[in-house]
Amino acid sequence: MEFLRWSSEDVARWIESIGFPQYQACFTQNYITGRKLIHVNCFNLPRLGITDLQHMKLISAQVRELLGVSEPHWDRSIADPLHDDRTVFLQTKSKSGRQADSLTYEHFLNNKSR
């Protein structure tokens, strides 16, 4: 999960590498680091200045692929969990601070099962 250590400049380079150099500034000016990528989706991209629907879909799909998370299923049963373990872990890691910094996926899973 090297992307968790990415600066906003690293994220901007990645955005360029997936074919969207025109949006590099959107990510650097909004300080989107690797930790914040979990929050990048079609709902939030317009807030960053990205409004082309096809670009939003493609960027969101690439972010999900990078993070290894699945697309949310809007037709899921309300009895099912909203997010999978990896998504919840990445949301936790998106925060700053000593606890989030030291949290590993293995430790997260061990604490979850208690």
- DSSP notation for the chain: -GGGG--HHHHHHHHHHTT-GGGHHHHHHTT--GGGGGG-STTTHHHHT---HHHHHHHHHHHHHHHT-PPP-TT--TTS-SS-HHHHHHHHHTS-SHHHHH--HHHHHHHHT-
Residue 94: inside a domain: no
Residue 93: inside a domain: no
Residue 114: inside a domain: no
Residue 109: inside a domain: no
pLDDT at 59 over 80: yes
CATH number for the domain that contains residue 46: 1.10.150.50
Residue 40: inside a domain: yes
**Contact in structure between 93 and 35 (CB atoms under 8 Å):** yes
Residues 49-66 have a mean pLDDT of 96
Grade residue 72 by pLDDT with cuts at 50, 70 and 90. Answer: low
- Please give the model's pTM, rounded to 2 decimal places: 0.72
pLDDT at 30 over 90: yes
Residue 106: inside a domain: no
Residues 59-75 have a mean pLDDT of 83
Residue 46: inside a domain: yes
Q: How many domains does the chain have?
A: 1
Q: Model confidence over 11-28: pLDDT tens digits?
A: 999 999 999 999 999 999
Q: Model confidence over 77-89: pLDDT tens digits?
A: 656 555 677 777 7
* Residue 29 lies in domain: 2-67
CA distance 44 to 38: 11
pLDDT at 42: 92
Residue of 56, 70, 72, 71 lying closest to 15 (CA atoms): 56
Which one is predicted more confidently, 64 or 74? Answer: 64
Residue 8: inside a domain: yes
